[in-house]
Amino acid sequence: QAQLLESGGGLVQAGGSLTLSCATSVTVYSTDTMSWYRQTPGNERELVATVTNGDFTRYADSVKGRFTISSFNGKNTAYLRMNSLKPEDTAVYYCNVYSSYDQRLYWGQGTQVTVSA
């Protein structure tokens, strides 16, 4: 059974928007760190955005001002809102969370985002 499950990926034109969801069955506290990564073929997974303590956020320079991360905040779903999408945002997007409850790092299986020019 998947413990983190991403959804919301798809095909969108440049300039468009998508919201990715990360649903979890893991015990996550509001202070736990939750992140989104992305990966393209032949490249390493790169950090896109992270949120800690519910509201401390960091973003990759390439997505600042366009993407917004939200944490679980006591709920079982977190989000990544992506605006003004560019073809270079095309990748498989993964969420992960460090659960302080059982001191484990969890990864989802990924969701494909494709941005056409």
pLDDT tens for residues 60-107? Answer: 999 999 999 998 877 889 999 999 999 999 999 999 999 999 999 999
- Taking 80 as the threshold, does the pLDDT of residue 9 lie above it? yes
Residue pair 91/40 in contact (Cβ under 8 Å)? The answer is yes
At 94, the amino acid letter reads Y
Please check the confidence at residue 5 and state whether its pLDDT lies above 80: yes
Separation of alpha carbons 24 and 77, rounded Å: 6
In angstroms, rounded to a whole number, what is the distance separating the alpha carbons of residues 22 and 50? 13
Say whether 3 sits in a helix, a strand or coil. Answer: coil
Amino acid, res. 83: N
- Half-sphere exposure in the Cβ direction for 24 (13 Å, CA): 27
For residue range 28-73, list pLDDT tens digits in order.
888 899 999 999 999 999 999 999 987 899 999 999 999 999 988 7
4 pLDDT higher than 90: yes
Nearest-CA neighbor of 82 among 2, 5, 13?
A: 13
Q: Rounded CA gap, 92 and 96, in Å?
A: 13
Confidence of residue 1 (pLDDT cuts 50, 70, 90): low
